[in-house]
Amino acid sequence: MKPPVTAPDVYASVRDGLRRVEETLHELRPRDFPFLERTLDHILEAGGKRMRPAIALLAGKLDRYELDLLVPLAASIELLHSATLVHDDVIDGAATRRGRATANALFDNAATVMVGDYMFAHAAELVARTGNIEVIRLFARTLMAIATGELHQDMSAYSYGQSTRDYFNRIAGKTASLFATAAEGGAMIGGVAPAQVAALRSYGENLGMAFQIVDDILDFTGDEAELGKPAGSDLMQGTLTLPALLLIERQPKNNPVKQYFAGRRRAESLRRALEMIRESDILDESYAVAADFRDRAIDALAALPGGEARDTLTELAHWTTQRRA
């Protein structure tokens, strides 16, 4: 049995494009504004998986691999993703992300929000470089979907009267929409046939759902060194994710999640919630849901021609449900 593939291995076929994406992101730092340059350095050099720009490049590689157009799109998607994280951290009052201090922990909130706005503006300018009005419209719709998903999350904080349907709708907007745009936008830039563009959008949507569910599982199973944040961070922020929802469904009375949200014996309630979820089969059930979305993503690829790009997208889907951070 071969070892699970790691993200850098998956990206090997688009390494040239990703290198240019990094160069493009680096060029955004304004050398005449030291504070903004330093803040953007801190945010963007945190790195991350660069999964979304890789998907855009792989989708474009199915036909015309025109990096002069694909790179601005891929960079805009990564910048949009990073900007949403900056605003998330301000809203949540998060002190760390990926084991590093957040921008809002180093600078004041007002300045950090404005830096996030600057990143949104640059993301829009980058996508405009594609010269493709349909891709620009797609970008705008995606930004609205992300904002709507974030609003749903913020407005429902510490409310346990939510359903799994509410959860799926929320992560579809907040997370899966950007994966879908990466795949669909890359395909559009690459001149892929319309039926295959639709297949790639389906791939991205389902992959994004699987990715977020695994993220939410890792919030209960990963350690702080791996995740760069303490276990149970979602519950601490008042966010219900799939494992917590399943615990509420199974034990509606004397439920520690409800007690935590109600402010009763919070430290003990959080400890009990983590323990009950970890010691049940809830995490296995949650992984099964993620695997179902992953399989839907892989099934969508059947509409694409065989070859390196399709094989890599398939490997990326498998990696999504195997990752540890």
Token readout for 267 is 């430290």
Predicted TM-score of the model (pTM)? 0.93
- Output DSSP code: residue 254: S
Q: Which residue has the tokens 């850098």?
A: 8
Q: Which amino acid is at 170?
A: R
How many Cα atoms within 13 Å fall on the side-chain side of residue 202? 16
- Show me where the domains of the chain are located: 7-320
Of 213, 208, 187, 190, whose CA–CA distance to 198 is shortest?
187
Span 7-320 CATH architecture: Orthogonal Bundle (1.10)
Q: Map 263-306 to HEC letters.
A: CCCHHHHHHHHHHHHHHCCHHHHHHHHHHHHHHHHHHHHHHCCC
Of 251, 289, 286, whose CA–CA distance to 160 is shortest?
251
Each of the 325 residues of the chain gets a pLDDT tens digit; together they read 344 555 657 788 999 999 999 999 999 889 899 999 999 998 888 767 899 999 999 999 999 999 999 999 999 999 999 999 999 888 877 777 766 888 888 888 899 999 999 999 999 999 999 999 999 999 999 999 999 999 999 999 999 999 999 999 999 999 999 999 999 999 999 999 999 999 999 999 999 999 999 999 999 997 766 666 788 999 999 999 999 999 999 999 999 999 999 999 999 999 999 999 999 999 999 999 999 999 999 999 999 999 999 999 999 999 999 987 7
- Output DSSP code: residue 5: P
